[in-house]
Amino acid sequence: MKQLLKKILVLIIGITLIMSNISLAVSSQDSQDLQDKIDKTKDQLNEVTTTKTDTEKQVNDIQSKIDEYQGSIDSLNDQLDTLNTNIADNQKKLEEQQKSYDNNSKLLDQRLITIYEAGSVSYLDVLLSSKSITDFISNYYLISELASYDLDLLNTIQKEQEQIEQTKKSLENDKSQIEELKNEKEVKTQELNSTKQEKEKYIDQLQGQATDLQKDLAQFEKDKAAIDKRLEEIAKANANKGNSDKNGSGSSNNSGSSSSGGSSSSGGAVSSKGYICPIPGLSKKNITCGFYGYSGHGGADFGGNYGKPVVAAKSGTVVISETLTGNIPNYDSNGNLIGKYRSYGEYIAILHDDGNITLYAHGKPGSRLVKEGQRVSQGQQIMSVGNTGNVQPRPSPSRPTGGAHLHFEVRVNGSQRVDPAKYLP
């Protein structure tokens, strides 16, 4: 009896340890999945912050130009004020100099008239007519004073003439400089207004782009909901058909699935789940944006690769092959508009024999090679990598391949997206 109790106790302890390890493993996996989502969300926030910072930097750069032009204009205004003050002062100074010059010129004219009216009487005659030495000295002193006064008056008039010329020249220079500054101010003002318009235009453009993007995203979500419902109905119908076939024949069709890795008929590596990479020569290591790499991203992106073949990741039946037209333009290599798209753009969905659905989006304009209802084999080309639909950055005439990538999804039950990387080699 004791031996039996020991065996039961050991068995209970063993089961408890096993369940504990399983719980820890699951808990660890859940924790890792949660951490992955947190890391992806942080990456997305960093990307949004970087985009916001770049946009703010562009606006700040334009504002710096505006501040620089405004500073130059303020400096020019200060210089103009100083010159206008100098001109006013010089104008007043010129008037005073001209008045003094006019008075001294009048005195000189009177002296000349007096000398003229004295006729032939000279300074020597005045001296010789002196009656005494005292009278002679007195007359000599008087004559000396008159001569000195006349000489000083001439010197004063000459200096006043020079000062007047200098003042006039300074006035002319100031006025000329004012004209130059006015012209420079006009140029700076035009540059300021142009830069302000550039800023307003850029802000309006950003606001317009943000509004358009919001509309595109809203339409994208609407399209995705409609596609989800459509694929869910297809998956449900397929499941019902499979159950009917099983009940009728006793077997289900699971061709095309694989339980171990290998090579496909096209030469590409096959994952343990039987899938190959939708772009030949690549693998899940080449994914540029993974599952929920940002909010709402329910697939995996293979960036770039414009024009490269897109192949069926597994054999199946094409259930969707269509174009979603909209407002997002697409251009050829010469910058010519070749179509406008929305959401997934050119896209294809394939129902596989294992019940899963793969979706291939943003194909090159006009590159879809398969139709709905058509059976495709693994590795068969179905379209080419493009940039139609809601892609970032948007294509433009100068960058027609902007935003090119393949968006690849794996869906269970039609609308339930799962991580495509887990299905790829």
Q: Considering only residues 156 and 410, tell me which one the structure prediction assigns the higher pLDDT.
A: 410
pLDDT value for 321 = 98
Tokens of 29: 């996996």
pLDDT value for 325 = 96
For the chain, which residues make up each domain, given as ranges? 64-206, 253-423
Is the pLDDT at 396 greater than 70, yes or no? yes
What average pLDDT score do residues 145-150 get? 64
Query: What's the chain's Rg over C-alpha atoms?
Result: 48
Where is mean pLDDT largest: 36-40, 159-163, 220-224?
A: 220-224
What are the tens digits of pLDDT across the range 68-98?
767 777 776 777 778 778 777 777 777 777 7
Other C-beta atoms closer than 10 Å to the C-beta of 198 total 13
pLDDT value for 191 = 82
Average model confidence (pLDDT) across the chain: 78
What are the tens digits of pLDDT across the range 306-317?
999 999 999 999
Is the pLDDT at 60 greater than 80, yes or no? no
What average pLDDT score do residues 296-310 get? 94
Q: Considering only residues 291 and 294, tell me which one the structure prediction assigns the higher pLDDT.
A: 291
CA distance 258 to 252: 15
Residue by residue, DSSP assigns 325-344 as EEEEEEE-TTS-EEEEEEEE
State phi, psi for 267 to the nearest 5 degrees: 100, -5
pLDDT bracket for residue 252 (50, 70, 90):
very low
pLDDT value for 72 = 72
pLDDT value for 375 = 98
What average pLDDT score do residues 364-377 get? 97
What is the bridge-based pairing of β-strands 316-331 and 375-376? Answer: antiparallel
Residue 269 CA: distances (Å) to CA of 55, 277, 315, 326, 402: 43, 8, 14, 37, 29
Is there a contact between 363 and 345 (Cβ–Cβ < 8 Å)? yes
| Block residue for tokens 């031996």 | 3
pLDDT bracket for residue 407 (50, 70, 90):
very high
253-423 topology per CATH? Glucose Permease (Domain IIA) (2.70.70)
CA distance 36 to 52: 24
pLDDT value for 266 = 60
Is the pLDDT at 171 greater than 80, yes or no? no
CA distance 36 to 287: 16
Is there a contact between 399 and 281 (Cβ–Cβ < 8 Å)? no
Share of the chain above pLDDT 70, in %: 67
Residue by residue, DSSP assigns 223-255 as HHHHHHHHHHHHHHHHHHHHHHHHHHHS----T
Q: What share of the chain is helix, strand, coil (3-state, %, to 5)?
A: 60, 15, 25
What average pLDDT score do residues 346-364 get? 97
pLDDT value for 143 = 63
What is the bridge-based pairing of β-strands 416-418 and 375-376? Answer: unpaired
Q: Which CATH number fits domain 64-206: 1.10.10.10, 3.40.50.10330, 3.30.450.40, 1.10.287.620?
A: 1.10.287.620
Tokens of 260: 């171990």
pLDDT value for 332 = 92
What are the tens digits of pLDDT across the range 102-126?
777 676 666 656 655 555 455 556 5
Total count of residues recorded for the chain: 425
pLDDT value for 138 = 64
What average pLDDT score do residues 334-353 get? 96
